[in-house]
Amino acid sequence: MPFAITPFTLTDDLAPIIAAWRDAFRDPPSSYRSLADLEDQLRWHGTFPGFTGVAARETTSGAVLGMTYGFSNRPGQWWRDRVAAAIGPQQTQALLDDSFCLMELGVVRAARRQGAARALVAALLARQPHPCALLSMQSDNRSGRNFYLATGWQIVIEKMSFGAGYLPYDIFQHPVSLTGT
């Protein structure tokens, strides 16, 4: 299934991107979230500094096969401040202060193991300006863990708690070189 990676912004038609996200996150261990949830989250995160989104589109039909997006981590943001509290001031300075937060990487089930996620992450990291990227993922997501460990990410914290009612999450980081990912 040949595909191309293209950037998206909040002014694009988000419906096919959100539909691809729903297919990608349909199976356990992903927790169910509604389409409206993701759309609200995207529109909120789209106002953050450094917001960048990329989609994988099937070359002939243009169908969206996968997506991810991210933004600059800044003090005051919910995710950034919880991770900073967990890693402490020294690691916060080294890892978080000039970093990018990668969110919602998903590839539709019919298009997996064809390099789409690898290409999405490479394209996203190439478009953002920070020397380091971070993400969190549910600790019980085995395929996600295999993907990130196979593509150069390292675990910074295992089984972090974001608070009552949250499942444990692992925090991953990836250095970004100036010449590529």
Ligand X SMILES: CC(C)(COP(=O)(O)OP(=O)(O)OC[C@H]1O[C@@H](n2cnc3c(N)ncnc32)[C@H](O)[C@@H]1OP(=O)(O)O)[C@@H](O)C(=O)NCCC(=O)NCCS
Q: By the criterion CB under 6 A, which residues form the site for ligand X?
A: 24-25, 105-107, 112-118, 137, 141, 143-144, 146-147, 150-151
∠ Cα 63 140 95 (to 5°): 85
3-state secondary structure 59-109: CCCCCEEEEEEEEECCCCCHHHHHHHHHHHHHHHHHHHCCEEEEEEEEECH
In the bound complex, what is the minimum distance in angstroms from residue 112's beta carbon to ligand X?
3
Min separation Cβ 78 and ligand X, Å? 17
* Amino acid identity for residue 180 in this structure: G
Q: Which is nearer to ligand X, 22 or 97 (CB)?
A: 22
For residue 37, give the H/E element and its range: helix 35-45
CB of 147 to ligand X, least distance (A): 4
Residue 115 or 131 with smaller CB distance to ligand X: 115
Shortest CB 151 distance to ligand X, Å: 6
Choice between 8 and 153, CB closer to ligand X:
153
For the bound state, the minimum distance from the C-beta of residue 115 to ligand X, rounded and expressed in Å, comes to: 5
Strand partners, 8: 53
Our CB check for ligand X shows the closer of 31 and 177 to be 31
Closest-CA residue to 5 (of 118, 89, 85, 96)? 118
Which residues make Cβ contacts (< 8 Å) with residue 74, sequence separation at least 6? Answer: 48, 49, 80
